[in-house]
Amino acid sequence: MKTVNLFQKLKDNNEKIAMLTAYDYSTAKVIEEAGIDAILVGDSLAMVALGYRDTYIITADEMKIFVKAVSKGAPNSFIVADMPFMSYNINVEQGLENASKMVKAGASAIKLEGCNKYILTLIQRCVESGIPVLGHLGFTPQLMNTIGGHKIQGKTAEMTEEILANAQKLEAAGCFAVVLELMPAESAKYITDNLNIPTIGIGAGADCSGQIVVTDDILGKFTDFKPKFVKKYADLHNIVLESIGQYKNEVKTLAFPSLEESFELNSEERDKLDI
């Protein structure tokens, strides 16, 4: 069973941390089989699995269903549940209650975006209550409307120092690691080099302590858009499209089902069949 200690252990051993997202039982199962270090049930599922316009709409109660499925598929994995937009921003009690829902659904930890006085208090309270927290800085999708779009962060020394200062606050509050999203590789390296906890990059270059990507993106399954930082390891969309087309043709031409996929009576059963 993987635990939160794995993150620091991998960083200390200079071994990169490989994380992926999962939203369902069968994907979680194959991710665990492949030996991925930890799984994130990301709120990206709002767009990727539910087809919502953005990630703002998903609720903690909806997330719980996906966390349950992933924890069933990957019972030995370290599973981080994303806390959806406004499921932790009203007050500490609300944040703790929703964090506890994620853990009861099977998560080992939660992820929160941003850093301010309130978030730091919430992180401390979660950690004191036994809920490990993964931070998330740089581009934080839940703040997209205030940031003003998908903007690369940390492009100047001042911006990078500010992200580092926030990452150090997250570390002091008790985060076991921090996601760094959408920033120049040099900035992410500088931040990583000045932290004790590991950094997990997404669109943040090769020098973070680990990487995370959306599984549906790297498998070529989600095709609505493809961020620059995504490398496609497979083209599932076209494989699925071709297979479904073949199935359709075989149904139309009576090639499916064949005898192999059918059940037949033996002669005795056939004699008794009164139809």
Interacting residues with ligand KIV between 78 and 137 (CB under 6 A): 82
Residue 181 annotated among the catalytic residues of the structure: yes
Q: Find the part of the chain contacting ligand KIV (CB under 6 A) among 39-47, 64-72, 87-95, 251-259.
A: 39-47
179 scored as a contact of ligand KIV (CB under 6 A) = yes
Active-site option among 33, 162, 181, 260:
181
214 scored as a contact of ligand KIV (CB under 6 A) = yes
- Exactly one of 42, 106, 132, 135 binds ligand KIV (CB under 6 A); that residue is 42
Tell me how far, at minimum, the Cβ of 112 lies from ligand KIV, in Å: 11
Q: Find the part of the chain contacting ligand KIV (CB under 6 A) among 28-36, 41-49, 85-93, 239-247.
A: 41-49
Tell me how far, at minimum, the Cβ of 144 lies from ligand KIV, in Å: 12
Ordered DSSP codes for the chain = ---THHHHHHHHTT--EEEEE--SHHHHHHHHHTT-SEEEE-TTHHHHTT--SSTTS--HHHHHHHHHHHHHH-TTSEEEEEPPTTSSSS-HHHHHHHHHHHHHTT-SEEE----SHHHHHHHHHHHHTT--EEEEEES-GGGHHHHTSSPPP--SHHHHHHHHHHHHHHHHHT-SEEEEES--HHHHHHHHHT-SS-EEEESS-TTSSEEEE-HHHHTT---S---TT---S--HHHHHHHHHHHHHHHHHTT-SS-GGGS----HHHHHH---
By CB under 6 A, the count of residues binding ligand KIV is: 10
* Nearest residue relative to ligand KIV (C-beta): 42
- Exactly one of 70, 204, 212, 219 binds ligand KIV (CB under 6 A); that residue is 212
Return residues touching ligand KIV (CB under 6 A): 21, 40, 42-44, 82, 179, 202, 212, 214
Catalytic residues: 181
